[in-house]
Chains A and B, each alone.
Chain A
Amino acid sequence: MILYILCFILFLVGLYGVITRRNVIKIVLGICIMEYSMNLLLVLIGYVEGGIAPIVVKGVEDTNFVDPLPQAMVLTVIVIGLATTAMLLAIAIRVYKKHGTFDIREIKNLKG
C-alpha cells in the first residue's frame, strides 16, 4: 500500500515541476517524470507475491506467474514515451530559435 503512495508522490513531483517551473526544459522533464511514475504504478499492480517472470520453460509446470497483461501494455507505452518526449523537445528548440529564450513568461506572441 505504501508503494502505491510513494509512486503517486513521484507523480506529484512531476506535476509540481510542470506547474511551478519557468523553464521549458524543466516542464518537459516534469512530464517525463509523470510518465515514468505511471508505468511503475501499472507494473506494481500486476505483481504477484512469489511469482516468476512470465516465460514458460519446458519441464517446469504449474508455476506462479506474474501478470503479463500490464507488462505488455507498459512495453508499448515506454517506446511511445520516447517519441512524444522527442516531439516536445523539437517544439522546445523551435521556440528557442524564434524567441531566443526558454522562459515561458517571455513568450507571449503565439502567432507565426
Chain B
Amino acid sequence: MEVLLAIIIILMIAGSIYTLHARDLLSAVISYGITGFGLVICFLLLRAPDLAIAQIVVEIITLIIMIAVIRISVREDLTERSTIRVAGVRYINMRSVSFFVAGIVFMAALLFFFIQATALLDPFGVHSIRMAAAYMEQGAGLTGSANLVAGVLFDFRAYDTLGEATILITAVIGILTVLRLKGRK
C-alpha cells in the first residue's frame, strides 16, 4: 500500500516537473493532467470515493478551461534561456541561474523544517485525529445518514458548507466582473 502510493506520487512529481519546463504551453497543460489523474488514483487507494468522483470531473473541467485560454491567446511558445550568446561567445545567464540556485536553497531549507515538524506525527496508518473518533462511532446514529462524509458535511459542519458556497459565489462574481460580462457598460 505504501509502496504503491509512493510510486504514484513519484509519477506525479515527474509529471509536474515536466509541466513547468515544457517549451510548448499545450504540452504543459496536457501533462498537468498526469498530476490530476494520479491524484484520482491516490484518492481511490486511500478509500475516499466521494473525493475521487469530484476530483476527476473538476480536473477535466480545468483542462477544458485551460485549453480555451491557450486558444484565445494563441501563444504556444515560451522561451527561457539558461545561456546567452553575446558576440558569438556563450555566457551563463546569471539571472536565471541565480534564481534557480536561490530557489533550490530555499526549498531545501523548507524541506528540512518540514521533516523536523512532522517527526512527531504518528506513522502512516495510525489514527491521529482526536476529534473524529466521536464522529466515526456515533455519526450514523446521531445524524441518521449512512454516508458519514455527508453527515459530517451537512450536520456537524454545516457552517463550513455555507462558507464554501459563499466562496463559490464570490469567485463566480469575480470571474463575471473581470471578463466584463456584468457591470457598467
Contact = CB atoms under 8 A, between A and B. Distances in A.
Q: Do chains A and B touch in the complex (CB under 8 A)?
A: yes
Given A32-B32, A33-B19, A1 B124 contact: yes
Given A23-B78, A33-B16, A89-B65, A67 B127 contact: yes
A44 B149 contact: no
**Secondary structure of the A contact surface, majority rule:** helix
Contacts of B171: 80, 83-84, 86-87
B118 A76 contact: no
A9 B111 contact: yes
A56 B126 contact: no
Contacts of A48: 125-127
A74 B6 CA distance: 21
B99 A43 contact: no
B149 A68 contact: yes
A72 B2 contact: no
Nearest to A74: B51
Interface in A25-84: 25-26, 29-30, 32-33, 36, 39-40, 43-57, 65-76, 78-84
A44 B70 contact: no
Given A80-B164, A84-B171, A29 B146 contact: no
A53 B58 CA distance: 21
A56 B148 contact: yes
A76 B20 contact: no
Contact of A4 (B29, B61, B124, B160): B124
Interface of B: 2, 5-6, 9-10, 12-13, 16-17, 19-20, 25, 28-29, 32, 35-36, 39, 42-43, 46-51, 54-55, 58, 61-62, 65-66, 69-70, 72-73, 75, 78, 80, 96, 99-100, 103-104, 106-107, 110-111, 114-115, 118, 121, 123-129, 131-132, 135-136, 139-140, 146-149, 151-153, 157, 160-161, 164, 167-168, 171-172, 174-175, 178-179
Interface of A: 1-10, 12-17, 19-23, 25-26, 29-30, 32-33, 36, 39-40, 43-57, 65-76, 78-87, 89-94, 96, 102
